Amino acid sequence: MSIDYGTPLPLPIPVFPPLELRTDPPKILILYGSLRERSYSRLLAEEAGRILVGLGCEVRFFDPRHLPIKAPEFDNHPEVLRLRELSLWSEGQVWSCPEMHGAITGVFKNQIDWIPLPAGAVRPTQGRTLAVMQVSGGSQSFNVVNTLRLLGRWMRMLTIPNQSSVPKAYDEFHEDGTMKDSPYRDRLVDVMEELYKFTILTRDFRDFLVDRYSERREAEGKR
């Protein structure tokens, strides 16, 4: 028995861009989720930054200390604008957050809430690569990295497969803030190498990778 599926919807044949990869340094933004003076999520973020610089990346951090709580009256606050500009500048991002009561911190979530999904025709995170990391005060957990992956999906980012979770973080860093040699640091290097590779491979094609048929149809209907 044959089934009539009706007239197929028009699907444009994708045009693949030429596979010529740029060689300039990948631009990586690093966010962390704690305001403590000795913040282990910040120390992990800084260690990741050093590794990325060693790989040839250009790295910038956002300090969340002066970022206001999400509210309409702060839309044009200098730190809000700076965070959005850094997100637009980036080609990849690293999110590092401690686990608090089994979840991400308000400090970290506040940063993501301030990065709008659509900013006019520009999406500050869409198509960027993302690496997720967490630190814990006790045994190893994956609650935070799992939540960060969900956030990355909502922000239309390309989250890499590998991730870093550091338990008993107070034992994993020297007094100067550098990370001790351990399997956890080895994993961190793995994650940053993977982020570097995925960013190199996708940054020139991110608009193509996240282009959606449903949104093209919606845009056509508004013309």
pLDDT in tens, 16-48: 666 678 889 999 999 999 999 999 999 999 999
Residue whose C-alpha is closest to residue 51's, from 37, 86, 38, 43: 43
pLDDT, tens digit (0-9, with 9 covering 90-100), for 50-93: 999 999 999 999 999 999 999 999 999 999 999 999 999 999 99
CA 163 to mean position of chain CA atoms: 12
What's the rounded Cα separation, in Å, for the pair 32 and 94? 8
Task: Please indicate, yes or no, if residue 165 is contained in any of the structural domains.
Answer: yes
DSSP conformation letters of 166-209: ESSGGGSB-TTSPBPSSHHHHHHHHHHHHHHHHHHHHGGGHHHH
Report the domain count for the chain: 1
Mean pLDDT of the region 182-186: 96
- Here the CATH number for the domain that contains residue 133 is 3.40.50.360
Identify which has the larger pLDDT, 112 or 209. 112
15 domain residue, yes or no: no
Specify if 34 maps to a domain. yes
- Domain range holding 167? 27-221
Nearest one of 36, 38, 104 to 64, comparing CA atoms = 36
14 inside domain: no
Q: Is residue 148 part of a domain?
A: yes
The answer to whether residue 9 scores a pLDDT higher than 90 is: no
Whether 19 is in a domain gets the answer: no
Quick count: other Cβ atoms within 10 Å of Cβ 157? 23
